[in-house]
Structures are given as C-alpha cells and as structure tokens.
Structure 1
C-alpha cells in the first residue's frame, strides 16, 4: 500500500510539472493545438502537423505542441524533424514528460545515433509507472543500441551495383527473384499505386528490357506482389489480396509456366490460406516445402514465418510455425530459402539489430541426417543492414550474389534493384544445377518427360517434375558437395540415366546436357549410369538402389518386354578376370530384379568383359565410360 501511494504521488507530481507547458496562454496557439487534436482523431496527420507548427510559431514555449509534433513526426517516419521537436521540449522543460525521452530515444535509434539513444532509453526507464510491455520493448531497443555500436566498428564488405535500366525505371522496382541459372529475373513494379510482375531475360551478361509478365497473373483491379519462383523458373508463388476467390485479406497463389506464357493462377487454399493474412511465399528447391508469413493464431508475434509440406496427394499439410529459434514476439518477414535447402534468409525487428527490420540468416541443424531445429539467426552486418528497413533479399544459387531493392543516389528513381557480393561468412552452401533438353532421338520433337534427381547416398528425391512440353527444357539444382542421379522417363520410351558429382567438377560449374530418348524397340540399349560397384567387386552398392527400382518399374509398366543385362569392364587387368567380373556384375543386377518380383522369363544376363569399349582405354575418363552396366531390349 505504501509503495502504491509513493507511485501515485510521483505520477501526480510528474503530471503537475508537465501541466505548466501543456497548454498555451496565447489563445490562437491553443486553438491551433485543439484543432490539431481533432485532426489526429481522424488520422489527418498532415493537417495536424500544420496546425501544430502554427501553434509553436505563435507560442515558442508551447511544450505540449512540440511534444505532439515530435510524436506525429515519429509516427509518420520523419525522425529528423521529430528529434528537433523533442529537443525543443527538453529545452523548455527537461521534465515535461517521461515520454519525451522515449520519443527522442526511438528517433535517435531510427537515425543511427545509437550512443544517445541508449542514454535516453536508460533515462526513460528511471521514471515510475512504466508497464512491463514497455519495459521489455525498451530493453530490446537498448540491446539493439549496444549491438549496433559494436557492429559498426566491424563493417562487412558491401558494394551494391545497380543492375541497369533494362529493369530499373523512375517507378519503384522491388522484390527481385531469380532463376538458378540467373537467366531470368521476376520482380514487382509499382505504377500509379498498382503492383504488377515484370520479367527480364539476361542476354550477353546484360538484362533485357523488362516485359509485363502475364495477363493471366497481373490484374488491374488487385495488387500482385511478394513472389517467389522455383529454381527452374517454372512455378511462380505469389501473394494476391482481396481477390474474389480469396480466403482472406491476402492469400498465396501459384501459376505454372507454359511455354512463353503462364497458367491461370490457382489459390492454394486451406489449410495454408485462412480468413487472416498469408503472404511472402518462398518455395524450397525440391518444391516440397513452402515457407510463408502469416498473422494466424499460434504465433509468437505480429508476423511469423511458417512452413507447410507438399503431401503425396498434392495437397499442403497443416502449417507449422518455425518456432522461437526463428520467430520472436516482434515481426519476422520476407523469408527466402536458398536452393541449398539449409540457409533461410529473412527480415526481423526482433533479433539484435540496428533498430528497424534487418536481414538475418539461419541454418538448419541436422542430427543423424534429420533436421532438429535452426541455429541462432545471424545479422548480415553493417552496412548491409542500417538504421533503415532492409528486407526482400534473394540469393543466387551459387551463393555469391544478393539481390535487393534500395533507393540510392545512383538510381533511376524510386526503388531500384541492386546486386552485391555476399560476404563469405553469411553465404549459403554452394549449389550448382543441371540444365537439359529432352527430345525424341529420331524425329527431334521436344518431350514433356518426367525428370527425377536423387541424392545417391541418402536415396532422397530432390527433384520430381516434367520437362516443358513446348521446349523440352528442365533445370534442377544440386548441392556441390554431394552426388546425384538423374533419371528421365516417358511412356513409350526407354529411360535415360546420368550421374553428377559436382564436387569432383569445378565447384559451381553447371551441367548442360542433351537427352535424346529412344522409343521402345527391339535392340534398344540403355546404359545404367547409376549402377555402382566397388573396384574389382560385384556386390551392388547402396547408391544403385534408386536406379534399380526405376528398372523394376519400367519392366512392370511394360510387361511384354524382355531384356538382356550386360556387364562391361575396361582393359585394366587380364582378359579372363575382366570377363568373369563383368558376368558377376550383370548377374548381381539380374538377382536384384528377381528378388523384386520380376519374372525370370523376362530376363537374361551376359558378361562382355573388355570386348566392347565405348571410349579409348588410354584415359581414366575413357576407362570410366567402359566400366558400365546396361540393358538391351531383346523382345517386346
């Protein structure tokens, strides 16, 4: 009871002291002040500011009007003007009100004056009557001040480059996303308050003049924005707001590229979209995990990052919050999952930063090959992050370049899109890609074949899609430190296989291939490039399983086909040993098929030793091609 009386006494004394300058003896100044309060109630802030400026011009000791001006300038983001107003209040009466110090400190924080902001936040906390929520917020801001002063002493390399007038104009361009081969960029352009998507194609290292993306996607009545594109450029996820088919205020939609055009957008519906607000999607490289931002219940703050998985039936699972390792009681937005599928970039004003939204990166934590959470987010550093707002970052597949929007002096007007070299410390794992074209071997027609890429060690399917029906093209990303198997298949054709070990190649170097598919005919031959044995042994290695199961499926789908499995070696060693080894390897494949319920009547096997080389045995590359397992159609 005694503490409560002391608290009330101090509070009354504070207000009594403030009361001296909260009104004006100048009638016209008081009238402008009262009129400003009316405008504020209607959120007519510009008119309120004009009246308050009139009030302080008539009465230069009107601290209440200066306080109100400072609060309005701060609310509207004009922090430099807010600073002048708060300093005027303190000049008139240093103890006018505790909130003068709060407003001053927040304005200093948002103009990068971290040392003074810390002092004035500390001063504010010494006043009685501050509730727990305000105290927590101020303590968070004070930590930001301490973090920022240290970070500025250790700047990171940051040299943004305007990506050119093919994309940037006098309008606002922002939220850039780029395909894995850096061949196409899609971004948002705002014209007359309407947001639409545009695309640009890279030609001779320069971006071509941007074009309107699609009438199927862009509308004149609604805004489209906050988009992401799959690494192959075939799927666009984006945010559409207040559309007739929407579930809530803003929903997530998807469109698929069809040749040079795009399909009509499809609302992905519940459980992802709700009557609330869902936005800012980011799709994983395999197309199976969608990250997005939502204000739905169950989160930690206003805006949280969530994820949903693509189920086997094509629907999306109930979204899961990424948890306190990513989300705070403040706001987390603009997620970008890199094609390495381990590095998540996002913006936040909750983790230690420079006062507004900063850019962060967090990495997945793996235990026994399974994800067990996220590492503590790392601020990308100064001057990538500043006292302003930074968000909307995307990263090239090789992890070298970041793309973002900024209003800088060398721009073409408004927000422009820039790229910059990402500091080594905050780069994702290096990712390369395979880009191919599938066509009929005989008539050269493009084929919409099924494309699958498997992590050979884990057996995990990392890409599962179809080649473009009009161009036969596909593109899939791969980690540079792992080995992968590619399988291309289509009904009526023999399948095609290939394997890639990017780490054994130049890191980050892409694989560009042509895939001619053969129709199923007697005599048709397929090299099983993803069948593996240890040197001079015939036991199948585990990495062979995915391709062997594909062969099982092929034989089940084509029940009339009979095949011969052939084993081949290089010419290292004596001929009898090579003959025996090739026959044993062919038999190992034969036995696997038998054990997976393929009839013996459909199968035979034969060892060919070193008799039929595909390449010169004088080089290791040639010998590698000659050590192979294949199958041949002998009846259909």
Structure 2
C-alpha cells in the first residue's frame, strides 16, 4: 500500500500527464480520473479544476475534486466542493459525500459540524460499513471536544525559518547541542520524470543555528531520512527510500558505524533481509531498550505481512555483543487495522510513542503512548495542544524527558501550496507550561481577578511588525549593478517593486553559480545558503516593505508627520565613485516606491511635507570586509550570499512628529 512517507511528502511533486490547454472537457476529466486512480491527488485536482472550469454544475467532478482535495489535506477546498456536490447531486448518486464532509469537518477541528454530518449520514443510510464508521466518528468527535476542555499542559513553539521551509521538515532528534532532522526539498537531477521528484536529506542545526546538511552522509540518488542512534552512540540508523513508478516508493533500513577518527563511515550497511523484507517498506527507525529482556531494541514502521493492517509498528532485538539482529515482531498491543507510524521509545520510562490515524484521533494522525512490559497497560492519547485535528507525527522527547519535538501540518505551518493551504509538515518544539502559568487568573491588590499576563517566552510563530519602528532596520536587496547597469547616474525611474520582481526569480541562477565548483555535500550546503537568503531576506524584505507602507499610510491618515531615513549599500566590485552613484540610485529606487505606491497615494503627503524621505548613502565604504572585490571571481563577488547581502538599501530610522 501507499506509505505515509509518500502521502505526506511526495504528492505535490508528481508528474502531471500531458494535457494541452486546447484539450476538451472529456480529456481533462479522463486525465483527472487516471491521476485519481493512481492516487496522485495533486494532479487529479489540477485536471478536475480544468474540467470544472468548463462545467461547474457536474456533481461527479465536484465530488472527485473534493475527494482529491481531502486526500491532499486541502480541507477548506474539500469542504467547499463537498457542499457543491450535495447541492448539485439531485439524483443522490454520491451519498458518501455526507460522510466525507463529516471527516473534513473533523480534520478542521469543527467537531459539532462533523457530528451533524455523521448523524445525517446515519439517518440517510440504513446499512453499510461507512455507517458503522460514522457511529464511531461521532464518539471520537465527542472525545475530541472533551479533550479540548482540558487545560493546556504544554506550550507549542514553531521552530521558524532556520529549520522549517515551505517543504516538509520532520524526524527531529536532539543530541547534545545538535538537532538532527530531515527535509524533503532537494532536487534529484538524475530523476527522469518531468518535473523531477524531490529527495529528502538529513540536516543538522547546531546551537539553534541555521540548518545545514549532515556532511558526507546522504545518498545522492535516493531519499535519506529518519536518524536514530544506538545506545552506545557508535551506530547511526536511518532509512533510504527509492522511487518506483509514480507514487510507488520503498524504504530500507541502514546503519553506519564510526571509523577510527570517530566519524561516520562513508558506506552504510543494510539491515538483513529478515528486517528489510523484499517488496515491503521498512522505515522510521528508533532505538529503545527492553528492561525485562535486557536488550537493545530497534523499533520501525512497516507494511509487511503479519501486522494488523496498513503500516504497523515492529521491533527487532539487537545483540549486546555481536550486534546481530533477531527476528522482527509486531508490537501487537499498539497496532490496528489503521496506520501506526513514527515510533519513538523513551528508554528511562519504558514508554513507546507513535502516531496513528485510528478513529480515536482528533483528526488526521494523533500521537499515542504505550508503556511496555506492563501487563495492564493501555494505549493512551496525548492531550492538546500537542495533538490537534491535523497530522501530528514524529514525536520525540529530549534527554530530560519533559521537552521535545514533533512535526505537524497544523495552521502556522509554512504551506507550499498557499492557495489550497496544503503541504507540508513543519517541526514544532514543546515544553511544559510552568504551574503558576496554568492559572486562568490571579489576584491584584484589591483582591479582584485580573487576566494572567502572557508568559515572557518566545512566541509560537515569528511575530509580524506592528509599528513602523518594529521594522527597523528594513533591508531591501538588489541584483548586481541594479538598478540601471553600467551608468554613473544617481537617480532612476524604476521603483523597488520592479527591481524585486526581476531579481527574486533568479534564485536558482544564483544558487547554481555559487555552488558550481563545490563537491556534492558542499554544493548542497551552498544551495541552502542561497535559498535561505532569497527566501528569508530578499522575499521577506519585499513583503515587509508592503506591510510597512500600509502602516505608514494609516499613520499619515491619522495626521502624523513621518520622516524616513534611507541608507544605500553596494558590494565592492567597482571604483568608489561608481559605487557611490550606485548606492544613490538604489536610494532613488526606494524613494520611487513611495512616489508610485498605490497610484501615488503618498503624493499629497509628500507635497505637503507630512512625509519626508532623507538619504544617507555610503557606497562601498559600508561593504563588509570579507566580500570579494575581484572582478574575475564572479562566484564570490556576484553570486555569493555575502556579496548579495551588501547590495541593499535600508530604512534605518523613523522620526514621528504631529501636525
């Protein structure tokens, strides 16, 4: 069957069958059906949308589009088109649409609406397997609402852009000051499909720094992911997954040992065939210890025969002396006919954590726990906010046993498909809320109740600026020798948005040129650096400029006087007088943004003197000393993030005065 690894990480990048714009309604419908049958739900959505554009009253198309969106985790789109299906389905040809609408509401955490739809489905359908499931789902929604009534015990923190991207990040594991994790975003240049499919690779973040590839570790032609360490630290287990046709992928467990210098050996060793059973997936390893059997145990997820169905949790013993592997056994106490995935074992407390999409989940995958070697132990569901109505997976604890990480596609995650709010998983950190912060209120001097102040801890998401001063300094970046190449003019007719729209799409060009001469591991790190610069500095700067402009307009409309101070920078590739002119052109370019913004909406304020823009240009004298000025060294003087970072203007100061 299709593995969770594929469903959660791969679907957005599969091949779209060739259907030209001039093709007929039937051609789009057929292509959508073929993609749907292949479980390529993103492609199915694409083709059904084209067909719906030609006939938006067809209940079959609305239904198939809705089911594709549901499988793609685009739940708001699924809700919309399930409602359209029910409205258009005069013949009652799609009775299961009501059940699926209930499931979509459950995934969105709208449990009362979900219960209404499940009750409606039960009333309209006197028999069938889905009727029994609907009855179970009503109970599950009731439990979910009860869980939400419990006070939060944990604070959830999104790790931000040093770790997370619009693609999927998952499988976090902390050792010392290093966070190991996997990311599904790397190009596979040897993949023959069009477009080529992405690969996952293992990265590390040291002391909460920017994530970078684990050097000389990742397979260059396959997906590498999910690291875990032996108890003595001398082995690192991981899995390698290879593509078949379309959605088909198989994962195999490997390990590496340390060489004489304490580094991981270059070549990994596949676990024996009894573990890596041919034609089945073995994935998501985690190391544990059986305190009764006194042996190290490797837990993993697999779809092999002998389980309860779907993906199940399996375990295999690891010999203490010879490190040989025993025979794999299913962990029967936790497996169901649904999917059980992403195991993690807390050695000290002898607790197995895993995720499952069983009916008891709040929606999608929830995290569960089970205490091993305790005869009457039952599987327990973790409380919100760790669990949510979305997918909550890859739960791990840090060494002290109170904090840890998990991955989720809950709101707040960086979406790759922003229009549909679909894909992908980000890594979140959790920590206990101190007891004094769990109170709903506290007594003030007059013994009245007042709201409890918010804890002074880092926010779950990066906070957007709310005042003009919050943006400072606001850096905005330019392409090499832009605006207006090879001139000593000090002004330009271009505004910043024009230059940004031409510069930002050059991310791949800059990455390729900066990475070109490097070895493979270093090349991937170089590409990451360029991607991070374009996403988190160039793109963010432009977005913040638009937000800055909106806040500025409101301040001016309220009668305030505002003076903006701008400073220009350049990279040192030309003579100082040329750079001084270039810096002035960049300041001029930003000034033009305020002159042109929203059909010159700032012009009356500029003419009246309520908005003043003052220039501070510094040319090359402000360039960092480590930036190359060698004209022949294009890699470092043009394409490097260090040089690119110098080609900017900054809004450095704001002065506010009232009329």
Give TM class, smaller chain: 0.5 to 0.7
* Deviation string, structure 1 residues 323-358 (Cα, Å, up to 9, x no partner): 1x2111101000000131511111011261212100
1:314 aligns with 2:323: yes
Distance 1:249 1:140, change over 3 A: same
Residue 223 (structure 2) aligns with: 223
Residue 178 of structure 2 corresponds to residue 184 of structure 1: yes
Q: Distance between the aligned counterparts of 1:130 and 1:404, measured in 2?
A: 39
Alignment map for 1:109-508 (pairs within 5 Å): 109-128=106-125, 130-132=127-129, 134-163=130-159, 167-168=163-164, 172-179=168-175, 182-190=176-184, 191-192=186-187, 193-201=198-206, 206-215=207-216, 217-230=217-230, 233-242=233-242, 249-258=250-259, 259=261, 261-263=263-265, 264-275=267-278, 276-284=280-288, 288-311=296-319, 313-323=322-332, 325-340=333-348, 342-350=350-358, 352-366=360-374, 372=375, 375-406=377-408, 409=412, 416-422=426-432
Partner of 1:67: 63
Task: Identify if the C-alpha distance between structure 1 residues 162 and 89 changes in structure 2 by more than 3 Å, giving closer, same or farther.
Answer: closer
Residue of structure 2 equivalent to 1:585: none
Q: Partners of 2:82 and 2:331 in 1: how far apart? A: 40
Q: So what's the TM-score if we normalise by structure 2?
A: 0.52
Mapped contact 1:224–1:239 kept (Cα < 8 A):
yes
Instruction: Render the CA deviation track for 1:209-240: whole Å, top value 9, x for unaligned.
Output: 4443232x312101111222235543211111
CA contact (8 A) 2:202 2:226 kept: no
Would you say the 8 A contact 2:316–2:327 is kept in 1?
yes
> Relative to 1, partners in 2 of residues 1:37 and 1:106: Cα closer, same or farther, differing over 3 Å?
farther
- Which secondary structure does the structure 2 equivalent of 1:174 belong to? strand
CA pair 228-137 structure 1, distance change in 2 beyond 3 A: farther
CA contact (8 A) 1:49 1:72 kept: no
CA distance in structure 1 between the aligned counterparts of 2:346 and 2:253, rounded to whole angstroms: 19
The answer as to whether partners of 1:165 and 1:412 remain within 8 angstroms in 2 is no
Q: 1:395, CA displacement in angstroms? A: 0.3
Residue number in structure 2 paired with 1:51: 50
Higher strand share: 1
- Determine helix, strand or coil for the equivalent of 2:219: coil
Query: What does residue 40 of structure 1 align with?
Result: 33
If asked which structure has higher relative contact order (CA below 8 Å, sep 6+), I would say 2
Deviations 1:293-320 (A, max 9, x none): 1111111120110111123543211111
> Are 2:84 and 1:83 aligned?
no
Against the structure 1 CA distance between its residues 338 and 252, is the aligned structure 2 distance closer, same or farther, given a 3 Å change threshold? same
Q: 2:228 is paired with a residue of what secondary structure?
A: strand
Q: Secondary structure at the match of 2:323?
A: coil
Q: Contact 2:393–2:408 at 8 Å: present in 1 too?
A: no
Pair 86,197 (structure 1): closer, same or farther in 2 beyond 3 Å:
closer
SS in 1 for 2:155: coil
CA distance in 1, matches of 2:345, 2:109: 30
1:101 partner SS: helix
After superposition, what is the alpha-carbon deviation per residue over 1:251-307, rounded to whole angstroms, capped at 9, x for unaligned?
111112344520221111132110111111111158711111111111112011011
Change (3 A) 1:225 1:74: same
| Distance change >3 Å, CA 389–CA 310, structure 1 → 2 | same
Change (3 A) 1:124 1:222: same
The size of the alignment, in residue pairs, is 375
Q: Secondary structure at the match of 2:392?
A: coil
1:155–1:383 CA contact under 8 A, matched in 2? no
**Radius of gyration: which is bigger?**
1
Do the aligned partners of 1:102 and 1:124 also contact (CA within 8 Å) in 2? Answer: yes
**Cα gap change, 1:243 to 1:310, in 2 (>3 Å):** farther
Helix, strand or coil for the counterpart of 1:220?
Answer: coil
Which segments of 5 or more consecutive residues in structure 1 lack a partner in the other structure?
1-30, 367-371, 426-636
Instruction: Say if 1:162 and 1:411, in contact at 8 Å, map to a contact too.
Output: no
Give, in whole Å, the separation in 2 of the partners of 1:294 and 1:424: 38
Q: Is the 8 A contact 1:291 1:306 kept in 2?
A: yes
- Shift in alpha-carbon separation, 1:92–1:328, aligned structure 2, 3 A: same
Shift in Å at residue 392 of structure 1?
A: 0.7
**1:288 aligned counterpart, secondary structure:** strand
- The CA distance in 1 between the partners of 2:124 and 2:136, in whole Å, is 17
Q: Distance in 1 between matches of 2:358 and 2:394?
A: 17
What RMSD in Å do the two structures reach over aligned CA positions? 3.2
